[in-house]
Amino acid sequence: MHWADFTAQRLKLECGENLVAASGITPSGEFHLGHIREILSAEMIHRACLDAGLDSRYIFIVDSMDPLRRVYPFLSDEYEQYIGCPLAFIPAPNPDGTPSQDGLSYAEHFLGPFLEALQQIGVFPEVIMNHQTYENGDFAVKIDSAIQNTDTIKDIIERISGRELPDDWFPYKPLGSDRSMDGVTVTGYEKPYVHWTDRHGESGSADIRKADGKLPWRIDWAARWGIHGITCEPAGKDHGAAGGSFDTGIPICKLLDSEPPAKMVYEWIQLKGSGPMSSSTGNTIGPIEALSLVPPEILRYLIAGSKMNKHIDFNTGPALFQMADEYERLVANPPSGTDEELNKRQRVARDTQNAALRLSQVKHGTNPSDSLAGVSFRHLAMLAQIKSNDDNIWKSLFESDHIFDPNPSDALIDRLSRMRNWIESVHFPDDARIVIQSELTEDARKNLDGEQMSFLINFKQAISDITWNDEQISQAIKDTVEVTQIGARQAYIAIYWAVLGQHFGPRASSLLVEIGSEKLEQLLP
């Protein structure tokens, strides 16, 4: 059983028919693809619950009450005054990093494009802005309970996390006179007011029924599990590690008179060869950028086709060809067979792969075949580099029987558009780039030995009177290999040197079909 379907069944047994899946994010800067794993993991569990006939909601909590922690490289020095202030209450940055005067908040500025990216991959959550939950007074009961149990919560955090908290630690952070939480000291509590003094020598009171302050992260997370009735919230391995915020959140949630969700931990997405994605280190690729390169159903398949406890290498190089083509093959030939026909391993593979295809669709409940392009990523990449006109690509695909309608499907049109973006980007792998030569170059002549030159001369003769299609070109290569008694590998290397000016390339016969017999004869000796 796929992990999402398994989780749905477990939640039904543990929590009943009414379920709430959740994920969250802090809108402190540009989002990266690593955030997508948490969101899609929760959303796919939500879909699996719906497919199992359960009453499920999927909520997306935006940590808009979180403070600005530092002046990030993309911000001007003017943001120094906003450090410690909630992201919902400070201005959005202009393109030059200065504070904007257009009324948009910092949180809204970074959240908007991310929500648009989520819609592209079929994610439409109930968005909850955390600062509004504070403003509405929904946290008030939990805040009061946390304050009443200050010593117990402090002991839980220190015992489980191994951290030592200061003697004056308090489970609530009020905003000071400058609306910052930094440098604010709590001086007393008289429900519903937390009294404070700040670094400027000012004094005041924060109303726990309003957004005058917030709970520290570990308590905030535990409190909102109860406030929103969350039954499932996947956590990254940093939060889910032993002694992490999930471990402290469970007993705190119970202390605050709510039931916590079962612990569920996912591994990170890494950029191949660069380690985990991180906004602070700049080791990222944004979801909008990724979606300009990769069809959304394949991005979903990246998550759906991986176990939650396995890290994912997002590779915009050769591995992307592999993953995209694997998806196409599965859609074209989904796993089948009855339980009686298959052994246990085959049944598991059948069920998990079919579920991965189901959960990869942008629109819930649609048939995977609706997103079938019918053309491999590699072949489309080759065509997109050889032919600048889309109509010529459709004609070529129709004549080569890759598609059976001269008018391409919407999925194929979309696929080509993203492919062109990928080719033009820095992410396209160098070893997949092709440039058709105008003549047999001096560099090629230097790299071709006598046997290879003889092969090319004979091959030129062999193709002079064949029907120009993939099958006959392949046969002409084989026949010429036999006649010249050259190794097949050396023969293909010779073709690539003549046509591309390098020792490798895409499938030779397909490449030669596309460049045409007249052009090829100009390149052969």
pLDDT of 29: 81
Distance CA 95, CA 79 (A): 14
The answer as to whether 89 is a domain residue is no
The answer to whether residue 213 is domain-embedded is no
In sequence order, what are the beta bridge partners of 195?
188, 205
Average the pLDDT over 119-144 and give the result.
Answer: 97
Q: Return the minimum-mean-pLDDT range out of 22-26, 165-169, 260-264, 337-341.
A: 337-341
In a shared domain, residues 427 and 382: yes
Give the model's pLDDT for residue 283.
Answer: 45
Q: What is the pLDDT, as a whole number, of residue 69?
A: 95
- In the chain, what's the furthest Cα-to-Cα distance? 97
Q: What is the per-residue DSSP string for 387-403?
A: -S-HHHHHHHHHHTTS-
Alpha helices in 136-286 (DSSP H): 140-148, 150-161, 217-227, 237-240, 245-255
User: Does the pLDDT value for residue 433 go beyond 80?
Assistant: yes
Q: Which of 125-139, 200-214, 502-516 has the lowest mean pLDDT?
A: 502-516
The token pair at 460 is 């030129």
Pair 466, 513 in one domain: yes
Question: What's the pLDDT score for residue 274?
Answer: 47
448 and 484, same domain (yes or no): yes
Q: What is the C-alpha separation between 268 and 271, in angstroms, rounded?
A: 10
Identify the domain boundary among 432, 453, 471.
Answer: 432
Strands 126-129 and 275-276: unpaired
| CB count in 10 Å sphere of residue 426 | 5
What confidence category does residue 422 fall into, taking pLDDT thresholds of 50, 70 and 90?
confident
* DSSP notation for 255-299: HTT-PPPPP-EEPPEEETTTEE-BTTTTB---HHHHHHHS-HHHH
Q: What is the mean pLDDT of residues 457-486?
A: 92
Q: What does DSSP say about strands 275-276 and 269-271: parallel, antiparallel, or unpaired?
A: antiparallel
**Domain assignment present for 503:** yes
369, pLDDT greater than 90: no
Question: Any idea which of 208-212, 334-338, 473-477 has the lowest mean pLDDT?
Answer: 334-338
Phi, psi (degrees; rounded to nearest 5) at 364:
-60, 130
pTM, whole model, 2 decimals? 0.87
- The CA distance from 125 to 128, in Å, is 9
Q: Are strands 18-25 and 55-62 parallel, antiparallel or unpaired?
A: parallel
Q: Is the peptide bond before 174 cis (omega within 30 degrees of 0)?
A: no
- Of residues 314 and 505, the one with the higher pLDDT is 505
Residue among 125, 136, 152, 137 at smallest CA distance from 61: 125
The torsion angle over the Cα atoms of residues 78, 79, 85 and 88, rounded to 10 degrees, is: 110
pLDDT recorded at residue 272: 60
Residues in contact with 416: Cβ distance below 8 Å, sequence separation at least 6, in sequence order = 380, 384, 390, 393, 408
- Whether 449 has a pLDDT exceeding 90, the answer reads yes
Q: Is residue 412 part of a domain?
A: yes
The verdict on 469 and 505 lying in the same domain is yes
Same domain membership, residue 411 and residue 455: no
**For helices 245-255 and 150-161, what crossing angle results, to 10°?**
150
pLDDT mean across residues, the chain = 91
In a domain, 369, yes or no: no
Task: Please indicate, yes or no, whether residues 448 and 428 belong to a single structural domain of this protein.
Answer: no
Rounded Cα distance between 314 and 353, Å, is: 19
- By DSSP bridging, strand 235-236 and strand 265-266 are parallel
* Domain coverage including residue 409: 377-432
Judged against a pLDDT cut of 80, whether residue 49 lies above it is answered with yes
For residues 461 and 480, membership in a common domain is answered with: yes
Average pLDDT over residues 386-406: 89
Q: Which residues of 135-153 are buried (b: 16+ CB within 10 A; e: fewer)?
A: beebbbbbbbbbbebeeeb
CATH number for 482 = 1.10.10.350
Span 78-86, average pLDDT: 97
Residue 264 domain-assigned (yes or no): no
Amino acid at 282: G
Asked if 1 contacts 194 with a C-beta cutoff of 8 angstroms, the reply is no
Residue 374: pLDDT over 90: no
The answer to whether the beta carbons of residues 31 and 69 sit under 8 Å apart is no
pLDDT of residue 324: 85
The answer on 419 and 446 residing in a single domain is: no
CB atoms within 10 A of CB 281: 10
Q: What pLDDT does 275 receive?
A: 47
Residues 501, 467, single domain; the answer is yes
Question: Does 474 map to a domain?
Answer: yes
pLDDT(508) > 60: yes
Q: Give 403's contacts (C-beta < 8 A, 6+ positions apart).
A: 374, 375, 394, 397, 409, 412
Question: Which band of pLDDT confidence, cut at 50, 70 and 90, is reported for residue 498?
Answer: very high
pLDDT tens-digit readout, 266-305: 887 776 654 444 444 444 566 677 788 788 998 899 899 9
Q: How far apart are CA 508 and CA 78, in angstroms?
A: 58
Same domain, 398 and 464: no
Give the residue with greater pLDDT, 429 vs 264. Answer: 264
Last-in-domain residue among 385, 414, 432: 432
Given a cut of 80, whether residue 413 has pLDDT beyond it is yes
461 shares its domain with 483: yes
Residues 430-434 have a mean pLDDT of: 86
- CA Rg, the chain, in Å? 29
Q: Is 360 helix (H, G, I), strand (E, B) or coil?
A: coil
Counting the structural domains of the chain, the total is 2
Half-sphere exposure of 80 (CA within 13 A, CB side): 3
Asked if pLDDT for residue 427 goes beyond 90, the answer is: no
pLDDT for 277 equals: 45
Which of 85 and 386 is assigned the larger pLDDT? 85
pLDDT of residue 271: 66
For 96-115, the pLDDT digits (tens) are: 999 999 999 999 999 998 89
Q: Are residues 406 and 450 in the same domain?
A: no
Examine the fold and report which residue of 402, 432, 462 is the final residue of a domain before the chain moves on. 432
Residue 415 maps to a domain: yes
Listed residue (298, 230, 297) closest to 264, CA to CA:
230
pLDDT at 155: 97
